[in-house]
Amino acid sequence: MRSQVFSLLVDNNPGVLSRIAGLFSRRGYSIDSITAGATTDTRFTRLTVVASGDELILSQIEKQVRKLEDVVDIKVLKDGESVYRELIMIKLRANAAQRGEIISVADIFRAKIVDVEEDSLIIELTGTQSKLEAFLNLLQGYEILELARTGITGLSRGSKDVAYF
């Protein structure tokens, strides 16, 4: 089993995310993460889907998604040929003594402190999944109150395979 990142350009129509998720559900495919957002052209939305499976399953996912009416373009984003990022927000319990230690760790990772309260703080970090996991490992000694992750989003490098519509 391995993970594959798919970048989908889809028509910006109501229900398109539901139809894509439904295809995965009906076929029994696993979605590790899915993100969606606007593009420079309001007619289209970019979806980044991370799925797991063996070679046959990942190939079938690409073929089945490509057949969907709302899918304009699909790319398999490969390591080294693409840029991936994920955002994580972590709310930690932190008294005055712990706050300095946590901020030092955050600085090493170029994380941002986005909220500070008397007994907690919220940290925002953007990067690769491995960077986020390394950061979380260093925070194991602290109490994580809440955590939110966006899932991977990505684009292929260069301009050779940009789809123009």
Cα separation, 50 vs 31, in Å, equals 6
For 67-99, write each residue's pLDDT tens digit: 999 999 999 999 889 999 999 999 999 999 999
Query: pTM here?
Result: 0.85
Amino acid letter for position 11: D
Where does the pLDDT of residue 52 fall: very low under 50, low under 70, confident under 90, or very high at 90 and above?
very high
Cα separation, 44 vs 8, in Å, equals 10
- Is residue 152 within 8 A of residue 84, CB to CB? The reply is yes
Give the helix, strand, coil percentages of the chain, each rounded to 5: 30, 45, 30
For 103-155, write each residue's pLDDT tens digit: 999 999 999 999 999 999 999 999 999 999 999 999 999 999 999 999 999 99
- Predicted confidence (pLDDT) at residue 14 exceeds the cutoff of 90: yes
Closest CA to 48 of 20, 69, 88, 25: 20
